[in-house]
């Protein structure tokens, strides 16, 4: 029996992952990904060494064939994340939400001017940026 595949059928269904920090003064890490047609019992979330792994696998048998899709996504959590308090929630529309509080709020980087060295201005580089 010949199986006709649509042009996109050779690519696995991919999960869109969008890690994001809510606000600069937020006290938790948040990330979300769309898992499409996966059911809750087809999704597994694990964390090891500050890396979250999401695996989802779906199989369907049809009278004229068989379909199988698998997705694996990994992301490294920020170092100040309370990994033991990581939670996941799968919404009815297929969005997986990950959340974990920070040990401390993420430190905001200090703002400073970076001088620019200009080469070719004599023997020593000339430094611009300070008046």
Report which of 22, 42, 44 is spatially closest to residue 32, judged by C-alpha positions. 22
Query: pLDDT tens string for the chain (131 positions)?
Result: 344 444 433 344 444 444 443 444 478 889 999 988 889 999 999 999 999 999 999 998 988 898 889 999 999 998 889 999 999 999 888 899 999 999 876 566 677 778 887 777 565 555 555 44
Domains defined for the chain, CATH in brackets: 17-107 (2.60.40.790)
Nearest-angstrom CA–CA distance, 55 and 70: 7
DSSP 43-85: EEEEEETTEEEEEEEEEEEETTEEEEEEEEEEEEPPTTB-GGG
């Amino acid at each position: 029996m010949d199986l006709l595949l649509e042009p996109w059928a050779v690519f696995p269904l991919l999960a869109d992952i969008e890690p994001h920090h809510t606000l600069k003064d937020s006290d938790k890490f948040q990330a979300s990904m769309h898992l499409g047609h996966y059911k809750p019992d087809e999704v597994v979330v694990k964390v090891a060494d500050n890396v979250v792994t999401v695996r989802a696998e779906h199989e369907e048998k049809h009278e004229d064939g068989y379909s199988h899709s698998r997705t694996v996504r990994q992301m490294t959590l920020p170092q100040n994340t309370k990994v033991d308090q990581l939670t996941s929630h799968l919404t009815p529309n297929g969005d997986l939400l990950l959340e974990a509080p920070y040990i401390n709020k993420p430190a905001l980087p200090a703002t400073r001017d970076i001088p620019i060295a200009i080469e070719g201005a004599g023997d020593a580089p000339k430094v611009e940026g300070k008046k």
